[in-house]
Amino acid sequence: MQQARDILKQAELLYSSEQVQAALRNVAQQINAKLADKHPLVLSVMGGAVVFSGQLLPLLDFPLDFDYVHVSRYGDARHGGAMQWKVEPRENVRGRVVLLLDDILDEGHTLSVLRERVLELGADKCYSAVFADKQRGRKKPISADFVGMEVPNRFVFGYGMDIEGAWRNLPAIYAVKE
């Protein structure tokens, strides 16, 4: 617990909770404009997207179905590893428009694999929305259709993104000091 507090104490605030909420409203408007007549199946990527999903869903003004998937490449580490499926997409994606929600598009591997799997299971169309898109300076295997905000190529946490398992619950976004 003290280690987590020390990490936050030494971190740099990148985006305030007000900036985060403004970005959330903006991405909701984009999704509303594109998917209002689609009755999509929304799949939240646990656990990172729980905050983003929970705050985004009430801002969407169209009927939708909701489910989740659980895949991880990080665990409590700071670097991505092998893909670990905990809950795969179910057959309920067949013939549907699917919207994947994730906290961050970092290297793009997780979202790319999820999109491929949803399409393999027979989804008609697969969109993706991420709250944060990390500007890594190199090409990613996938781009999100809807992005809340861009973040620098640093280790960021807060608003669903964790650091060593902690601080997903912060309303703002922080970065580890360089």
Q: What residues are annotated to the active site?
A: 106
Three-state SS for 114? helix
Q: Residues 126, 98: contact at Cβ < 8 Å?
A: yes
- Its sign, for the CA torsion 28, 148, 39, 33, is positive
φ/ψ of 45, rounded to 5, equals -90, 110
29: its two tokens: 């408007």
All residues at 6 or more sequence positions from 162 whose CB lies less than 8 Å from its CB, including other chains: 47, 48, 76, 168
Distance CA(127)–CA(115), nearest Å, equals 8
CB neighbour list of residue 103: distance below 8 Å, 6 or more residues apart: 45, 48, 49, 51, 52, 130, 131, 132, 159, 160, 161
